[in-house]
């Protein structure tokens, strides 16, 4: 039986997120975009509301929610500010490898503080020389008795300046390529671990991004997640669960851009009529509406498959690339509809355009999603 309706619980979660976004995020989003500071008061309120660790099992103090629930929340929060939404979503995303493969002891040790003490987590995959080509990462973890010695640099790590725990992916056996990658939890206080300069970004400026370095960092073997060599699979499983949420955030951003554009097009008069009555403008808005609806359905399907325990790599890639490209196009056209005013920081749409761009880049670029989709055609 196919149903497009949300359950009463899902509807009330969505309303809660919408209210939170309106009350706590929207009024401060322009200011954090200007300052680039970490939105601590919003993070704290989100944590109190349960938006910081929705996917962590209830037994460790988390929300025990599925991927679809996180999509509902991400759409609403990103409609108010995609940068703040990314800050909040990232800890939950970075907990995923622990949730998926952590032992009971590891979950107790790291997930409980995330839920009870507002500890933050970062996911460290990307390196200066290894972005899309994850399997080529150069960070190494060499076994030394009961520990691993980790050396390497990670780049563009969300929440790096503020995280307490870092899920670091490193090669334990470089000869094995992607089968030689392993995952470790590295605590911020580990000697040899350091966080670099914060990136000064084009958009999503409320979201902290920085590099991290590991120089002879000694990490106990019990911090390894899963077996040696499980790392690459774990990254991919994590992305399968996080990409629907990125797609949903893109829908939220695009929805905000469309709403601004519709309001403006109804009131801005040129050539004697509101510009929405010029077909070129009306059709842009019509396309925004249909594309955002399609993107939302793709995100929900990918999330639903994950929640049903079914493989969703293809559907997650599809949702992510489609929604990110739609968000970029919708935000760009919203600027166009605002004309010269759209280009001014006095109006909200230029921020949406800047914020949208990175959705085509992080968690796998739009090209990499298309690559995955092409590969899936070979496998059929
Ligand atoms: C704001 C922000 C936050 C981020 N947060 C995190 C984080 O928390 N953790 C983390 O690990 N990483 C994070 N990243 C990194 C992000 O995932 C990478 O930037 C992304 O995967 C691309 O890698 P790259 O930048 O090295 O680009 P490259 O891989 O060098 O790609 C450059 C260009 O070449 C294209 N390209 C590469 N290979 C192919 C191919 N085979 N076919 C066609 N085109 C190709 C790409 O699509 C891109 O257009 C973040 C990045 C940003 C900007």
Cα(124) to centroid(ligand 1), Å: 13
Cα(364) to centroid(ligand 1), Å: 6
Residue 232 to residues 149, 182, 209, 238, Cα–Cα distance (Å): 19, 7, 22, 10
Active site residues: 363
How far apart CA 324 and CA 356 sit, in angstroms, is 7
* Ligand 1 proximity of 236 Cβ (cutoff 6 Å): no
Task: Identify the CA nearest to 331 among candidates 295, 305, 303, 375.
Answer: 295
Spatial CB neighbours of 56, under 8 Å, sequence gap ≥ 6:
62, 63, 64, 92, 95, 99, 111, 114, 115
SS3 track for 5-29: CCCHHHHHHHHHHHHHHHHHHHHHH
* Ligand 1 proximity of 353 Cβ (cutoff 6 Å): no
How far apart CA 241 and CA 246 sit, in angstroms, is 10
Ligand 1 atom closest to Cα of 158?
A: 8
**What is 8-116's CATH topology?**
Butyryl-Coa Dehydrogenase, subunit A; domain 1 (1.10.540)
Ligand 1 atom closest to Cα of 132?
A: 29
Partnered with residue 144 across adjacent β-strands are: 147
Ligand 1, atom 35: closest residue by C-alpha: 367
Q: For the segment 302-333, what is each residue's pLDDT rounded down to a tens digit?
A: 999 999 999 999 999 999 999 999 999 999 99
Ligand 1, atom 16: closest residue by C-alpha: 362
Q: Name the stretches of the chain with pLDDT < 50.
A: none
Query: Is 0.95 topped by the overall pTM?
Result: yes
Residue 271, Cβ density class (10 Å: 0-12 exposed, 13-18 middle, ≥19 buried): exposed
> Is the CB of residue 139 less than 8 Å from the CB of residue 167?
no
Cα(374) to centroid(ligand 1), Å: 18
* Ligand 1 proximity of 367 Cβ (cutoff 6 Å): yes
Domain spans of the chain?
8-116, 121-229, 232-379
Residue 351, Cβ density class (10 Å: 0-12 exposed, 13-18 middle, ≥19 buried): buried
Task: Report helix, strand or coil for 188.
Answer: coil
Structure confidence at residue 379 (pLDDT): 83
Ligand 1, atom 11: closest residue by C-alpha: 125
> Is the CB of residue 333 less than 8 Å from the CB of residue 352?
no
Instruction: Calculate Rg over the CA atoms of the chain.
Output: 21
Structure confidence at residue 79 (pLDDT): 98
Structure confidence at residue 2 (pLDDT): 67
Ligand 1, atom 24: closest residue by C-alpha: 131
* Ligand 1 proximity of 77 Cβ (cutoff 6 Å): no
Spatial CB neighbours of 53, under 8 Å, sequence gap ≥ 6:
47, 61, 62, 63, 91, 92, 95, 111, 114, 115
* Ligand 1 proximity of 369 Cβ (cutoff 6 Å): no
* Ligand 1 proximity of 362 Cβ (cutoff 6 Å): yes
User: Across all residues in the chain, what is the average pLDDT?
Assistant: 97
Cα(361) to centroid(ligand 1), Å: 6
φ, ψ of residue 194 to 5 degrees: the values are -145, 155
How far apart CA 120 and CA 272 sit, in angstroms, is 54
Q: Which of 125, 132, 135, 317 to mutate to test the pocket of ligand 1 (most atoms within 8 A of CB)?
A: 132
> Is the CB of residue 154 less than 8 Å from the CB of residue 212?
yes
- The CATH architecture annotation of domain 121-229 reads Beta Barrel (2.40)
Q: State the angle between helix axes of 231-267 and 67-80 in degrees (0 to 180), rounded to the nearest 10.
A: 40
Ligand 1, atom 7: closest residue by C-alpha: 157
* Ligand 1 proximity of 132 Cβ (cutoff 6 Å): yes
Per this entry, what is the length of the chain? Answer: 380
How far apart CA 242 and CA 237 sit, in angstroms, is 9
CATH 1.20.140.10 fits 232-379, yes or no: yes
Task: Report helix, strand or coil for 142.
Answer: strand
Q: State the angle between helix axes of 366-379 and 313-337 in degrees (0 to 180), rounded to the nearest 10.
A: 140
């Amino acid at each position: 039986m196919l149903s497009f309706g949300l359950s009463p619980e899902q509807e009330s979660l969505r309303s809660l997120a919408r209210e939170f976004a309106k009350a706590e995020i929207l009024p401060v989003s322009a200011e954090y975009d200007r300052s680039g500071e970490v939105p601590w008061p919003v993070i704290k309120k989100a944590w109190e509301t349960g938006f910081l660790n929705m996917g962590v099992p209830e037994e460790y103090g988390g929300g025990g929610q599925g991927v679809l629930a996180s999509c509902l929340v991400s759409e609403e929060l990103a409609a108010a500010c995609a940068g703040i939404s990314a800050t909040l979503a990232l800890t939950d995303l970075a907990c995923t490898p622990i949730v998926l493969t952590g032992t009971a002891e590891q979950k107790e040790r790291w997930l409980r503080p995330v839920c009870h003490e507002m500890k933050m987590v970062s996911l460290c995959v990307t390196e200066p020389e290894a972005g899309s080509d994850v399997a080529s990462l150069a960070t190494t973890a060499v076994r030394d008795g009961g520990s691993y010695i980790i050396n390497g640099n990670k780049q563009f790590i969300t929440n790096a300046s503020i995280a307490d725990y870092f899920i670091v992916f490193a090669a334990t056996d470089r000869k094995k390529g992607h089968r030689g990658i392993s995952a470790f939890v590295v605590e911020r206080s580990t000697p040899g671990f350091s966080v670099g300069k914060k990136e000064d970004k084009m958009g999503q400026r409320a979201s902290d991004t920085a590099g991290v370095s590991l120089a002879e960092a000694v990490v106990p073997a019990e911090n390894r997640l899963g077996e040696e060599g499980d790392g690459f699979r774990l990254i991919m499983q994590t992305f399968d669960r996080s990409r629907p949420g990125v797609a949903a955030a893109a829908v939220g951003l695009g929805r905000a851009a469309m709403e601004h554009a519709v309001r403006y097009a109804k009131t801005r008069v040129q050539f004697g009529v509101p510009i929405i009555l010029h077909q070129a403008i009306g059709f842009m808005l019509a396309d925004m509406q249909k594309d955002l609806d399609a993107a939302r359905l793709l995100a929900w399907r990918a999330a639903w498959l994950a929640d049903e325990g079914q493989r969703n790599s293809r559907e997650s890639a599809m949702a992510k690339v489609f929604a990110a490209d739609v968000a970029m196009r919708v935000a760009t056209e919203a600027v166009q509809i605002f004309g010269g005013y759209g280009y001014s920081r006095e109006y909200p749409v230029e921020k949406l355009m800047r914020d949208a761009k990175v959705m085509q880049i992080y968690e796998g670029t739009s090209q990499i999603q298309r690559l995955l989709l092409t590969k899936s055609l070979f496998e059929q």
